[in-house]
Amino acid sequence: VQGIPPPPTFAAYQAYDRAWRLRQLSKDEEALVEAERALVLAPDYPPAKTLLALINFYLGNLSVSDSLLDEVEEVRAQLPSSMRFGWEWQRAELDGDLADTYRLSRETLDRLSPPPPGWIITAAWAALLINRPRETLEVLSDLGPDSQGILEGQWVKIVRTRLMAWHMLEDHRRELRQVQELRSTNRDNANLLIAEIRAQAALGRVEEVADLVQEAVSKDLDPLEAARIAAEELLAHDHAAEAPAFYEVGLDHLRRGTPEGQTTIEHRWDAAQFLYFLRRWEEAEGIMRELLLERPYSLDFLGRWGTLAARSGKSEQARDVAIRIAALEIPFDRGASLYWRARICLLYT
């Protein structure tokens, strides 16, 4: 891996290298196992700790990621410049500082010659997150499926990033051509199927969207996300009348789950979400009331409860929920509580 000092043993390097390659492909559960193995073999090896911090971040284990970054900070001055930048980027990412993440990504690209594809993709995505889709496309412009250093499976990530940029630029025909070309050899990739749904819906092609959502349901390729994206994109592109049917598809899929599965918190949360999208406030409230009894400090549950109160005309209750959210002490909140409070206040004011 470019710019990384050698570990004390070859076995540790092998584990580290496998973990790094798996992370590049977003196979984080597998990457976690290899990174932990590398750290067992080389407990004082900073690159292994830094990589393990990154993997834990993407798995949602933010406190673990924070602790590992703190350990590396003690020896950060001794690391090569590329790794110091990597540490700073991870810290900015963990803190939710999108502007600093973007800055560090671009600076790292300038310092590495040539920059590895992983950093190019990272910089492109960082630009996208601060609403710079043209820059995203520029950063990715020199990468092709046969570019040096591209790992198997990484090309799909590059194309997905380009698709999002074209979508933001409303170049939906190019977006559709690209995703259909890629899907011709990746028919069962859920992310690409949903990307085609997004493009077709943006173009207002309701029949094509319906066929694709049915494909997602029949193949079990993330059908809830497929239905949600279909409805949201149709709503956003002047097809509000057709959108509810796709929320119904998602709700129907949930109803077809096993009796055991329907009792899980995740299943009930999904059901409440789709009922909310369908403006069936009372039914959604019934589910959310039960969920809050089980997890009274869940930010998402409180946020949805507050928006339901506001939608139902219960302004005082909605204000109380917003105040309750403001009082929560949430590590690594990254703006999530502010977002929910803003949504609640928007609805009742």
Q: pLDDT band at 150, cuts 50/70/90? A: confident
Question: Is the pLDDT assigned to residue 44 strictly greater than 90?
Answer: no
What was the pLDDT predicted at 144?
Answer: 86
Structure-block tokens of residue 130? 């601060």
Between CA 285 and CA 313 the distance in angstroms is: 13
Which residues does 296 contact at the CB level (< 8 Å), separation at least 6? none
Average pLDDT over residues 293-319: 95
What was the pLDDT predicted at 115?
Answer: 82
What was the pLDDT predicted at 74?
Answer: 84
Q: pLDDT band at 110, cuts 50/70/90? A: confident
Say if CB 298 and CB 327 are below 8 A apart. Answer: no
With CA atoms as reference, report the closest residue to 75 among 107, 48, 106, 105: 48
Question: Is the pLDDT assigned to residue 4 strictly greater than 70?
Answer: no
Interval 260-275: pLDDT, tens:
888 999 999 999 999 9
Both ends of the chain: CA-CA distance in Å?
A: 53
Residue type, 152: E
Asked which of 13-22, 81-90, 193-202, 292-301 is least confident by mean pLDDT, the reply is 81-90
Give the global pTM: 0.84
Highest averaged pLDDT of the listed ranges 9-13, 43-47, 148-152, 322-326: 322-326
Which residues does 119 contact at the CB level (< 8 Å), separation at least 6? 105, 108, 109, 112
Asked which of 143-157, 229-243, 292-306 is least confident by mean pLDDT, the reply is 143-157
Which residues does 331 contact at the CB level (< 8 Å), separation at least 6? 62, 63, 66
What was the pLDDT predicted at 14?
Answer: 92
How many residues are present in the chain?
Answer: 349
Percent of the chain past pLDDT 90, that is, above it, reads 68
Between CA 143 and CA 153 the distance in angstroms is: 14
Question: Is the pLDDT assigned to residue 247 strictly greater than 90?
Answer: yes
What was the pLDDT predicted at 11?
Answer: 93
Own/partner pairs, 89-97, CB within 8 angstroms, 24+ separation: 89/122, 90/50, 90/53, 90/54, 90/57, 90/65, 93/57, 94/57, 94/62, 94/65, 94/66, 94/69, 94/332, 95/332, 95/334, 96/332, 96/333, 96/334, 96/335
Which residues does 11 contact at the CB level (< 8 Å), separation at least 6? 41
Cis? peptide before 133, omega within 30° of 0: no
Average pLDDT over the chain, rounded to an integer = 91
What was the pLDDT predicted at 3?
Answer: 52
With CA atoms as reference, report the closest residue to 230 among 262, 253, 264: 253
Q: Give the three-class secondary structure for 71.
A: helix
Interval 317-340: pLDDT, tens:
999 999 999 999 888 888 899 999
Q: pLDDT band at 47, cuts 50/70/90? A: confident
With CA atoms as reference, report the closest residue to 294 among 323, 268, 319, 314: 268
Question: Is the pLDDT assigned to residue 1 strictly greater than 70?
Answer: no
Question: Is the pLDDT assigned to residue 82 strictly greater than 80?
Answer: no
Average pLDDT over residues 67-83: 83
Average pLDDT over residues 283-300: 96
